[in-house]
Structure 1
């Protein structure tokens, strides 16, 4: 997915649910059937996959990664981010 591809979701206060797949062959985001799936090459240890997913999501939304706050799912595949 291109940079800014999810810009229509970039509303302040929006909560964005994603499903993260760590250890993928390449980094990518897929929006399918109302679900955002993020595949990252980072391993699922020490929060590396979560940080990589945050960076990819911020790029797709066209916002700074510091504006995305993880609300739920630090140790889970299913995560919820809020855009501040």
Structure 2
């Protein structure tokens, strides 16, 4: 299963977040043991009081060139594996994501 899928309102991303990762960045795609793919993302923020989740939202907004208000954590607020919704035109968002991953 791919790390992203289109939804009615945008693009849903499956993310494996590493807080206190030393830097903020998208490290590519990882395949988990059950065969599911996730985007590997690290942030400098600590995993307390929502700091790491806020850093994740800010990073994705910046990388995908969308306002923060269009990036929502929809599952996994207190887990390492999360689902994030990027609201907008899914094909445009997917093209941006794929271009970023290809350049990465």
Instruction: Using structure 2 for the length normalisation, give the TM-score.
Output: 0.64
* Corresponding position of 1:22: 19
Structure 2 distance, partners of 1:51, 1:43, is 10
Runs of 5+ consecutive residues of structure 1 not aligned to the other structure = 1-8
Point out the more displaced range, 26-35 or 36-45: 26-35
Which has more radius of gyration?
2
| Deviation >6 Å, runs of 4+ | none
* Corresponding position of 1:59: 62
* Corresponding position of 1:49: 52
Query: How many aligned residue pairs are there?
Result: 75
Tell me how far 1:35 sits from its aligned partner.
2.8
Structure 2 distance, partners of 1:15, 1:40, is 19
Which protein has greater RCO, CA pairs closer than 8 Å, 6+ apart? 1
Structure 2 distance, partners of 1:74, 1:50, is 7
Q: Which has the higher helix share?
A: 2
Runs of 5+ consecutive residues of structure 2 not aligned to the other structure = 1-5, 31-36, 88-104
